[in-house]
């Protein structure tokens, strides 16, 4: 341990190992199996954006390699999704299931390129504000009923309707003319003027301004099509027997026990190779379940890294690298609630956190400290962003300048994390200890159930919050900077507001030159970091997972995309 570093970190190392073991399964909030990190902290130049393009020409995903077999079952460890309603989803646990059951006009493939889905093609008007989509012929829902352009119009309007209680409809559909009026519940508005059904296979969408990232937004589940009869006849429980258009359909769901997806025989394209995907929702020790052949995929926890990496270990042959995800974890502040309404106080807290020490002593250098918002390798990332790095003297100076310098003038601080018992998020415990030791700022950590946590977060009820991160939905910096920090954004859970940042974001929305647009987002990002809107904690790094040798065609991707259609079992 280096001179001058606080000794408390050693207390948490044993807990870190236990935590990594407990979280090494596929039931984490990130959707994929949680993975221990490789320890590499690659630079941006070592982590290219994998050829990411923004709305390239539509094309289909290549067919799987020869030798594939139809049939078989893929077994996963998972957690109960908070929702299976595409129009309500705002978490990755749910989204990873939803993208397999439902679909939309376009989608992201495993290479993060936009390709056709239910639309076989689209054209854009010269002014960039009107898009015309041509649907594939003969489309059907999973129950065999026909799908037309009118189903998309109804679905978009249903997503926006206040009764749906979507926390993300404005984020992903609000650019469409008339959608905002539906969201706001103004008068008796029931139709969005920006959505026109030209004929059964043609849908025209008009947006409020030319926005280069709009097509990418349509890959998110909020823009997925639903079966009206299924939704209206099923009432509040329609998702127990959902009718979708994805490569799979929901065959069985027993809360807290299991979920089973089966091949959708009415899928428009090549049918899924798997017969079923079985998700164990009851929990368990992932590594033990993997070694007992109860599940086919698992992440590798800290306690198992050395053993699995040993070439003499039989499981070593099943070890695969997992690429870094496009995500950032953070501790968020509600900037309208004391004491987080004071920028100097927020800066003091940022400067009092020694992330390098936590990374080294707690996580064994298996996490990458974050000092900005946009992850390395993501479009628009810049290593020129200057973050608020550990500086205890400067932290104390900012605390003295804040209106909450005195403990007697400081309200109780409660940091809410998702959970239902046991130890809360480890790094949050370490951070709060650093705040107290460096600044004398005391805080409490409270746990709430995951679905309740999301509800309170979306309604801005939380004073401070942690234990979560933002995973990119599509490859554009607008998905981070605009959605998370624009003052009018529903996903701005901390109610951060800076008029200068808003002006830059508004300008970036319609800037057609990609480099200029990215430069605007970088300018806004630096201002957000300077304002200490939150405490960025970690960026994802390369990890490890184990996959059974009979599982073929499975790929780990940095964004959530439909992928199970191409998986097959060779056994």
Helix, strand or coil, per DSSP, at residue 20 = helix
pLDDT at 26: 32
pLDDT at 189: 59
Please tell me the distance from the alpha carbon of residue 263 to that of residue 267, in angstroms, as a whole number.
9
* Buried b or exposed e, range 400-433, using 16+ CB within 10 angstroms: eebebbeeeebeebebbbbbeeeebbbbbbbbbb
pLDDT at 31: 33
All structural domains of the chain, each given as residue ranges with its CATH number in brackets, are 1-42+68-101+246-323+542-571 (3.40.190.10), 103-240 (3.90.76.10), 324-539 (3.10.105.10)
pLDDT at 507: 98
The pLDDT tens digits for 250-308 are 999 999 999 999 999 999 999 999 999 999 999 999 999 999 999 999 999 778 988 99
The pLDDT tens digits for 412-428 are 999 999 987 766 678 89
Torsion angles phi and psi, residue 215, rounded to 5: -60, -40
pLDDT at 367: 85
pLDDT at 361: 87
Of 73, 64, 7, 28, nearest to 570 (Cα)?
73
**CA 468 to each of CA 7, 92, 130, 288, 370: distance values in angstroms, whole numbers, following the listed order:** 27, 11, 36, 26, 14
pLDDT at 364: 75
Q: What's this model's pTM, rounded to 2 decimal places?
A: 0.84
DSSP annotation of 357 reads H
What residues does 135 pair with on adjacent strands? 119
Please tell me the distance from the alpha carbon of residue 422 to that of residue 408, in angstroms, as a whole number.
31
Name residues of the chain where pLDDT drops below 70.
1-66, 187-189, 422-424
pLDDT at 21: 28
Strands 444-448 and 414-418, by their bridges, are parallel
Please tell me the distance from the alpha carbon of residue 483 to that of residue 490, in angstroms, as a whole number.
8
């Amino acid at each position: 341990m280096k001179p001058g570093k606080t000794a408390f970190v050693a207390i948490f190392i044993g807990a870190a190992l236990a935590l990594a073991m407990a979280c090494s399964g596929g039931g984490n909030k990130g959707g994929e199996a949680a993975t221990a990190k490789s320890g590499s902290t690659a630079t941006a130049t070592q982590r290219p954006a994998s050829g990411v393009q923004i709305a390239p020409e539509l094309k289909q995903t290549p067919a799987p390699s020869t030798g594939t077999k139809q049939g078989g079952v893929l077994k996963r460890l998972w957690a109960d999704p908070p929702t299976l309603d595409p129009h309500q989803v705002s978490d990755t646990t749910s989204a990873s299931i939803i993208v397999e059951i439902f679909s939309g006009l376009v989608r992201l493939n495993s290479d993060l390129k936009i390709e056709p889905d239910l639309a076989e093609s689209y054209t854009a008007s010269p002014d960039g504000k009107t898009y015309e989509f041509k649907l594939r012929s003969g489309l059907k829902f999973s129950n065999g009923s026909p799908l037309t352009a009118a189903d998309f119009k109804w679905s978009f309007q249903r997503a926006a309707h206040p009764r749906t209680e979507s926390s993300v409809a404005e984020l992903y559909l609000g650019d469409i003319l008339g959608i905002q009026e539906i969201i706001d519940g103004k008068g008796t508005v029931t139709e969005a003027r920006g959505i026109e059904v030209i004929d059964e296979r043609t849908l025209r969408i008009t947006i409020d301004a030319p926005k280069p990232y709009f097509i990418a937004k349509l890959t998110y589940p909020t823009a997925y099509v639903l079966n009206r009869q299924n939704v209206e006849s099923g009432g509040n429980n329609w998702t127990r027997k959902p009718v979708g258009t994805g490569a799979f359909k929901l065959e069985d769901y027993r809360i807290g026990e299991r979920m089973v997806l089966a091949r959708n025989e009415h899928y428009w394209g090549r049918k899924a190779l798997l017969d079923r995907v079985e998700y164990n929702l009851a929990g368990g020790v992932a590594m033990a379940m993997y070694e007992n052949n109860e599940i086919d995929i698992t992440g590798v926890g800290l306690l198992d890294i050395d053993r699995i990496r040993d070439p003499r270990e039989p499981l070593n042959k099943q070890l695969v690298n997992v690429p870094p995800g496009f995500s950032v974890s953070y501790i968020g502040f509600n900037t309208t609630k004391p004491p987080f309404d004071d920028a100097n106080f927020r800066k003091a807290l940022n400067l009092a956190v020694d992330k390098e020490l936590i990374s080294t002593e707690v996580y064994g250098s298996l996490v990458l400290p974050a000092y900005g918002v946009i992850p390395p390798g993501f479009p628009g990332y810049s290593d020129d962003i200057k973050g608020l790095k550990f500086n205890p003297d400067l932290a104390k100076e900012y605390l003295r300048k804040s209106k909450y310098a005195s403990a007697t003038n400081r309200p109780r601080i409660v940091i809410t994390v998702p959970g239902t018992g046991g130890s809360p998020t480890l790094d949050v415990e370490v951070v709060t200890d650093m705040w107290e030791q460096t600044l004398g700022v005391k805080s409490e950590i409270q746990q709430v159930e995951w679905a309740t946590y999301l509800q309170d977060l979306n309604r801005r009820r939380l004073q401070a919050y942690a234990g979560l991160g933002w995973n990119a939905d599509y490859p554009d910096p607008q998905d981070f900077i605009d959605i998370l920090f624009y003052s009018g954004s529903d996903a701005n859970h901390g109610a951060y507001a800076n008029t200068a940042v808003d002006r830059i974001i508004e300008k970036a929305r319609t800037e057609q030159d990609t480099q200029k647009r990215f430069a605007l987002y970088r300018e806004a990002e630096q201002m957000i970091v300077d304002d200490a809107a939150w405490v960025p904690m970690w960026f994802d790094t390369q990890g490890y997972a184990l996959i059974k040798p009979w599982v073929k065609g499975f790929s780990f991707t940095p964004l959530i995309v439909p992928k199970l259609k191409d998986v097959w079992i060779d056994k």
